[in-house]
């Protein structure tokens, strides 16, 4: 009978293990480690993400029940105390840098012309408990972290991610983000900073964002709009000379204001430095910002970045990085096996069959060794 590795093994094949080993060596992550290697820690955390385990105890118990099959993924059962210590003390940089490598590799394979590339910038909050107050206190009784992301909506994956405490303003984190000259960047009011916009404009980036309601526009030209459309007006003008009393506006060129009405009846003032595109194109670009909100909702509902298995800053950073690595592994595996087009169905099938010995491309077709109950469960998930 032909031997099959587990579905979990098939997912882990997309991890660049040689680069992971280099990161472990660079950061001395396995120095003086006797029981739980950094690789075993990563495998255990990924198992928790894919299986839906919500606590250290669930992860440890689940891994113990599949001890025989863990050999094929280069790991083994873990002890809860050892696992907890590793999350608190093992260098988070190993996992964040692995995430950066995987995002770069995944993005490279989908590279398009920059003129056709649209990136969405936003951040999402992760609520933490009082045990994280020492590093993540936001206000009385509230602790939290933020995940700042650049998201490629066409590729349906992040290309950059950074974790800060909830106190850090979105624009502060954005100024540390890598920018691709010539690309289009879409973002909301959290990134309202004329100086940062000027930096994007200087390297040829197209900007699409929102005007604040109290920002005036020194009108230069009123453009015609199509009657009966959701475009209320299309104007070209200049921003105020200062964003605040002590902050001079470095943007000297004219900008575009497109006023639109949404399906709910809300009026929006959309700002762009593109004076040539149609008003509808500008409005459609801003509407795409909803894709990053869906991405945040997906990772919060499907992966584990709402319940944390550790409370230290190190443990939280590791778990968020591993959650995003899990997202990339799911997308890479789905792209390699295109017979299941729905991401949510694919993820549910992965979860239901994670430790079963079967090829990923055969998840919709129960193997002869699969029980009747398991077959029905896999088909119901679809």
pLDDT at residue 337 in the model: 79
Bridge pairing between strands 184-186 and 206-210: parallel
pLDDT over 50 at 377, yes or no: no
DSSP state of 34: S
Distance CA 12, CA 6 (A): 10
Alpha helix segments (H runs only) across the chain: 7-12, 17-26, 38-51, 56-65, 67-70, 80-89, 93-108, 133-136, 170-174, 194-202, 279-287, 290-302, 313-336, 343-353, 372-380
Cβ within 8 Å of residue 351, ≥6 positions away: 50, 51, 52
pLDDT tens string 353-365:
999 888 888 776 6
Q: Phi/psi at 242 (nearest 5 deg)?
A: -135, 145
Work out the average pLDDT over 51-65.
91
Distance CA 200, CA 211 (A): 17
Domain locations along the chain: 7-96+310-380, 188-285
3-state secondary structure of 233: strand
**Residue 379: pLDDT band with limits 50, 70, 90:** very low
pLDDT tens string 153-201:
888 899 999 999 999 999 999 999 999 999 999 999 999 999 999 999 9
**Maximum CA pair distance of the chain?**
77
pLDDT tens string 231-289:
999 999 999 998 877 789 999 999 999 999 998 889 999 999 999 999 999 999 999 99
């Amino acid at each position: 009978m032909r031997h099959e590795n587990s579905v979990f093994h098939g997912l882990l094949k997309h991890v660049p293990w040689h680069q992971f080993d280099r990161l472990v060596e660079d950061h001395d992550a396995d120095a003086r480690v006797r029981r739980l290697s950094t690789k075993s820690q990563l495998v255990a955390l990924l198992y928790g993400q894919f299986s839906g385990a919500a606590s250290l105890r669930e992860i440890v118990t689940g891994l113990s029940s599949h001890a025989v099959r863990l050999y094929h993924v280069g790991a083994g059962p873990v002890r809860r105390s050892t696992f907890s210590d590793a999350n608190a003390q093992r260098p988070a940089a190993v996992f964040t840098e692995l995430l950066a490598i995987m995002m770069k590799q995944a993005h490279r394979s989908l590279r398009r012309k920059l003129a056709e590339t649209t990136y969405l910038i936003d951040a999402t909050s992760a609520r933490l408990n009082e045990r994280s107050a020492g590093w993540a206190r936001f206000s009385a009784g509230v602790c939290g972290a933020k995940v700042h992301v650049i998201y490629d909506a066409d590729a349906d994956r992040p290309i950059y991610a950074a974790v800060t405490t909830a106190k850090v303003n979105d624009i502060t984190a954005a100024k540390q983000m890598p920018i691709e000259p010539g690309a289009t960047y879409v973002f909301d009011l959290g990134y309202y900073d004329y100086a940062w916009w000027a930096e994007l404009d200087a390297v040829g980036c197209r900007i699409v964002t929102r005007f604040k309601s109290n920002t005036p526009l020194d009108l230069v030209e009123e453009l015609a709009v199509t009657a009966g459309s959701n475009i209320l007006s299309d104007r070209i003008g200049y921003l105020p000379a200062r964003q605040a009393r002590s902050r001079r506006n470095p943007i000297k060129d004219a900008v575009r204001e497109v006023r639109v009405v949404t399906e709910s009846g809300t009026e929006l003032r959309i700002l762009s430095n593109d004076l040539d595109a149609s008003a509808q194109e500008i409005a459609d670009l801003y509407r795409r910002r909803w894709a990053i909100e869906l991405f945040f909702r997906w990772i919060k509902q499907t992966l584990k970045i709402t319940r944390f298995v550790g409370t230290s800053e190190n443990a939280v950073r590791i778990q968020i990085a591993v959650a995003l690595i899990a997202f990339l592994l799911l997308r890479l595996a789905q792209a390699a096996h295109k017979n299941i087009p729905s991401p949510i169905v694919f993820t549910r099938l992965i979860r239901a069959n994670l430790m079963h010995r079967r090829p990923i491309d055969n998840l919709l077709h129960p193997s002869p060794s699969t029980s009747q109950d398991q077959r029905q469960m896999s088909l119901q998930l679809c």
